[in-house]
Structure 1
Amino acid sequence: MEKGYLDDSDFRKAKIKSKIAWTIAILFACVQVALTLTPFFFMIINSFRKQFDMLQQGVFHLPDPWYFKNYVDVVTHGFFSYFFNSVIVVAVSLVLMLAISSFAAYPLARMKFKLNPYIYALIVAMMSVPMHVTLIPIFKLTQTFGLYDSLWSLIGPYVAFALPMSVFILTAFMKTIPKEIEESAEIDGCNRYQNFFKMILPLSKSGLSTLAIYNGVSMWNEFAFANTLIITPAKKTLPLALGQFKGEHSLDIPIILAVLTLSVLPMITLFIIFQDKLVKGMMAGAVKG
Structure 2
Amino acid sequence: MNRVYHVPVMLAECMDALAIKEDGVYVDVTFGGGGHSRELLSRLGVNGRLIAFDQDPDAVRNAIDDPRFTLVQHNFRFLRNNLRLLGVMKVDGILADLGVSSHQFDSAERGFSIRYDADLDMRMDRVGDVDAKKVLNSYAEEDLHRIFGMYGEIQNAKTLAKTIVTARLTAPIDTVEQLKEVVKKHVPRGKENKYHAQLFQALRIEVNKELEALQDFLEQTVQVLKSEGRLVVMSYHSLEDRLVKNFMQKGKFKGEVEKDFFGNEIKPFKVISRKAIVAGEEELQLNNRSRSAKLRVAEREE
> Same fold judged by TM-score > 0.5?
no
Which of the five TM-score ranges fits, normalised by the shorter chain? under 0.3
Q: Which one has more relative contact order, counting CA pairs under 8 Å at least 6 apart?
A: 1
TM value normalised by structure 2:
0.23
Which of the two has greater helix per residue? 1
